[in-house]
Every structure is written in C-alpha cells, then in structure tokens.
Amino acid sequence: MQATAHIDFILAAYAAGTIVIAALIAWVVLDYRAQRRTLADLEMQGISRRSVPARAEAVKRAAKEDA
C-alpha cells in the first residue's frame, strides 16, 4: 500500500486539526481581551478585586486623588 493513496485524507485531517487549534487560540485571545475590558470597566466604577493587597489599593487611591 502506498502512502499517496491516502494523501487526501491525511492532508484533510491535518487541515482540520490546524483549523480547530487556530480557532481555540483565537477564542482564548478574544475572551482574554473581553475579560480585561470588563475588569477595567469595573475598576473604573470603583469596584476592585479582592486579590489586590490593601497597600496597592491605598497607593492607587492616592494616585487618583493626585490626578
């Protein structure tokens, strides 16, 4: 059996796999950007993340007051 007999299937499988992986990467990048935008909007409203240390929050507030 020669490999060339199945080359169409092999190329289609590689193409499908590449398309799926590219779509997943694009999805993750777009979701990351959306999440960053949402976090920025919430922080602009004064809602902060609980994971931010208190010291960093105080510095942030002082910087806002100086501006």
Q: Residue 7: which domain range?
A: 3-66
- Asked if 48 and 57 touch (Cβ cutoff 8 Å), the reply is yes
Residue 46 region by backbone torsions, left for phi larger than 0, else alpha for psi between -120 and 50, else beta: left
- Asked if 18 and 10 touch (Cβ cutoff 8 Å), the reply is no
Helices (H), 1-67: 7-44, 54-66
Q: How many domains does the chain have?
A: 1
Please give the pLDDT value at position 18.
98
Average pLDDT score, the chain: 85
Residue 2: pLDDT band by 50, 70, 90 thresholds? confident
Taking only the tens place, the pLDDT of each residue in 34-63 is 999 999 898 888 887 776 566 666 667 777
